[in-house]
Amino acid sequence: MEVAEVVKEIDSAANNKHIKGVLFIVDSPGGAVAPSIEVSYAIKRLSTLKPVVVYAQGMLASGGYYASVYANEIIANPGAMVGSIGVIMQGADLSELMHKIGIKSQVVKAGKYKQVGTPDREWTSYEKNELNKVIQGTYDLFVADVATGRDLNISDKDFFANAHIFTAAQAKEIGLVDTLGVMHDAKLRVKELSRVSEARWNQEDKFDKFLKQFAAESASLLHSYFPPLTLR
C-alpha cells in the first residue's frame, strides 16, 4: 500500500557507487496496482545502472511479479509458484443482509457512475461494464510491461498471462523466469554479473525489518476492509 520507502531505497542503491549489484528476495502473492508499478519502474531504473537479480523464494505472483519484471534476471526456487498475471476487483452484495437487520442506504449523487462498486445492492449491467473497462485497461498495461520486461511476444499473452499459475519449471519454459535455483545460486549470480571478487552483502537491520513487516501486515488488514483494484 505504501511503497515510498522501498522506492527510496532502490533509488539510493542505484546512486551508491559502492553497491555493485542488487538481489531482491521476493515471496509475494501480489497487491494493489499503483504500488506494484512504482516498484517495477524503480527496479527498471536500477537495472540500467547495475545488475539486478530477483529470487522467487516462494511465490512470485501478480503484483509481486509485476514489481520484478524489469530485473535483469529472475531465478526461481524449484518449489516456487509463478504467474497469476491478471487483475481483479471484488465486492459483496449486502442488500439481503441489510434487509434482514433493517438497514436501508440513502444516496445523493451527481454522475451516473458515482455509485459504482457500492455493496448495498447488486451492481447494474452498465456499472459492471464500467468496472470492466478499468479492469481490462489495467490488464493490458500489466501484460504489456511483462512482454517488454521479459522480451515475450504479446500475441502469446493467453499462454503467459490470463491469470495462469505456473510451477517454477513451467514458468521457465514459457519465459517468465530465467533459471531455477536456490538462494545460494541467486547470490552467486549477482556476484558474477557484478564482477566482484569478494561480495559483502548489505542486509537490513532486523528491528527495522520487523517494523516494516508489522506496518505491512497492519496495512494489509486495513486493506481487507477497503479492497482496491488488485493484481492477481
CATH code for the domain of 174: 3.90.226.10
Question: Which one is catalytic: 28, 36, 62, 68?
Answer: 62
Q: What is the residue-averaged pLDDT of the chain?
A: 89
Surface-to-core class of residue 170, CB atoms within 10 Å of its CB (0-12 exposed, 13-18 middle, 19+ buried) = middle
Low-confidence winner among 66-80, 151-165, 168-182, 197-211 (lowest mean pLDDT)? 197-211
Q: In whole angstroms, give the CA distance from residue 142 to residue 71.
A: 15
pLDDT band at residue 211 using 50, 70 and 90 as cut-offs: low
In a domain, 189, yes or no: yes
Place of cell 488488485: 230
Total domain count for the chain? 1
pLDDT at position 94 over 60: yes
Grid coordinates representing 127?
Answer: 456499472
Query: Is 128 among the residues known to form the active site?
Result: no
pLDDT at position 217 over 70: no
Mean pLDDT of 97-125: 90
In a domain, 36, yes or no: yes
Question: Which one is catalytic: 8, 114, 133, 209?
Answer: 114
In a domain, 120, yes or no: no
In a domain, 118, yes or no: no
pLDDT of residue 205: 62
- 4-15 vs 33-47: helix crossing angle, rounded to 10: 0
Surface-to-core class of residue 224, CB atoms within 10 Å of its CB (0-12 exposed, 13-18 middle, 19+ buried) = exposed
pTM (2 d.p.): 0.84
Grid coordinates representing 6?
Answer: 522501498
Query: Is 109 among the residues known to form the active site?
Result: no
Domain that holds residue 143: 4-90+129-231
